[in-house]
A and B are shown apart, each in its own frame.
Chain A
Amino acid sequence: MQETVAAPAAKKRKKRKVKAFDVVIIAFFALFALVCVMPIVYLVLLSFASKSDYLQASSTTVLVFPLHFNFENYKVTLYQDNIMQAFGVSLFVTIFGCVYSMVLTSLGAYAFTKKGVPGLRIIFFFIVFTMFFGGGLVPMYLTIKDTVGTDNLFSLVIPFGINTFNMIILRNFFNQVPESIIDSCRLDGASEWRILFTFVLPLSGAGMATVLLYYIVAKWDDWYWPSLLLSNAKNLSPLALKIREGLNNARGEGQGGGWDPSRVFEQGSNAAMMIIGLLPIMAIYPFLQKYFTKGVMVGAIKS
Chain B
Amino acid sequence: MKRERAVPAAAVSASQREETKRKNTGRWNKFWGKVWRFRHIYLMLLPVVIFYIVYCYVPMYGVILAWKEWRPKYGIIGSPWIGWENFQTLFSQPDLLRAIRNTFIISLLRLGICFPVPIIVAILLNELMGKRFKKAVQTCMYLPNFISWVILGGLVKMLLAMDDGLFNNIIVAFGGSRVSFLTNQGAFYPILLLTEIWKGTGWGTIIYTAAISGIDPTLYEAAKIDGCKRIGLMVHITFPMIMPVCTVMFIMQLANIMNAGFDPIYNLYNPYLYGTADIIDTYIYRLFTEKTGGGGYALSTAVNLFKSVINFAFLIAGNVITKKINGYSMFTID
Contacts and interface: CB of A to CB of B under 8 A. Distances in A.
A154 to B, nearest CB: 13
B41 A62 contact: no
Contacts of A159: 55
Interface in A120-152: 120-121, 123-130, 132-144, 146-147
B54 A29 contact: no
B284 A130 contact: no
Contacts of A32: 121, 137, 140-141
Nearest to A58: B164
B81 interface: no
A195 to B, nearest CB: 9
Contacts of A162: 48, 51-52
A127 B121 CA distance: 35
Nearest to B130: A26
A63 B166 contact: yes
A209 interface: no
A33 B125 CA distance: 12
A289 interface: yes
Given A111-B48, A240-B148, A289-B139, A134 B207 contact: no
B91 interface: no
A107 B47 contact: yes
A111 to B, nearest CB: 5
Contact of A193 (B40, B57, B142, B198): B40
Nearest to A271: B158
Given A108-B45, A121-B333, A221-B148, A143 B31 contact: no
Given A32-B137, A136-B304, A301-B210, A277 B31 contact: no
Contacts of A49: none
Interface string A139-183: 111111011000000000001111000000000000000000000
A25 B63 contact: no
Interface stretch (B184-192, B218-226, B305-313): B305-313
Contact of B48 (A26, A104, A244): A104
A142 B31 contact: no
B151 A278 contact: yes
Given A240-B150, A281-B146, A300-B206, A62 B166 contact: yes
Interface in B205-223: 206-207, 209-211
B19 interface: no
Contacts of B155: 39, 43, 274
A297 B206 contact: yes
Interface in A182-207: 191-193, 196
Interface string B30-61: 01001100101110110111011011111111
A142 B331 contact: no
Interface in B250-302: 262-263, 267, 284-285, 288-289, 297-298, 300-301
B230 interface: yes
B129 A139 contact: no
Nearest to A145: B75
A3 interface: no
A36 B34 contact: no
A212 to B, nearest CB: 14
A278 B148 CA distance: 8
Given A134-B56, A138-B62, A139-B301, A25 B146 contact: no
Interface residues of A, number: 96
A107 B31 contact: no
A285 interface: yes
A84 interface: no
Contact of A117 (B41, B65, B133, B142): B41
B304 A247 contact: no
B159 interface: yes
A243 B154 contact: yes
Nearest to A293: B206
Nearest to A103: B47
A220 B61 CA distance: 29
Interface in B105-140: 121, 124-125, 127-130, 133, 136-140
A161 B51 contact: yes
B170 A62 contact: yes
B198 A36 contact: yes
Given A22-B129, A274-B151, A296-B207, A134 B166 contact: no
A117 B54 contact: no
State the 3 A-B residue pairs at the shortest beta-carbon distance, nearest first.
A139-B62, A135-B59, A136-B304
Interface of A: 16, 18, 21-22, 25-26, 28-30, 32-37, 39-40, 42-43, 54-55, 57-58, 62-64, 104, 107-108, 110-112, 114, 116-118, 120-121, 123-130, 132-144, 146-147, 159-162, 191-193, 196, 217, 220-221, 223-224, 227-228, 240, 243-244, 247, 267, 270-271, 274, 277-278, 281-282, 285-286, 289, 293, 296-297, 300-301
29 contacts: A16-B129, A25-B128, A29-B133, A33-B140, A33-B141, A37-B140, A43-B155, A58-B164, A104-B47, A104-B48, A108-B44, A110-B44, A111-B44, A112-B333, A114-B41, A124-B332, A124-B333, A126-B52, A128-B330, A130-B56, A130-B57, A130-B60, A138-B65, A139-B76, A243-B150, A247-B153, A293-B138, A293-B142, A297-B206
Given A26-B129, A136-B301, 20 more contacts: A18-B129, A25-B129, A37-B140, A54-B164, A63-B166, A107-B45, A116-B34, A118-B31, A123-B45, A135-B60, A136-B59, A136-B300, A137-B301, A139-B60, A139-B301, A143-B55, A193-B40, A221-B150, A285-B142, A285-B143
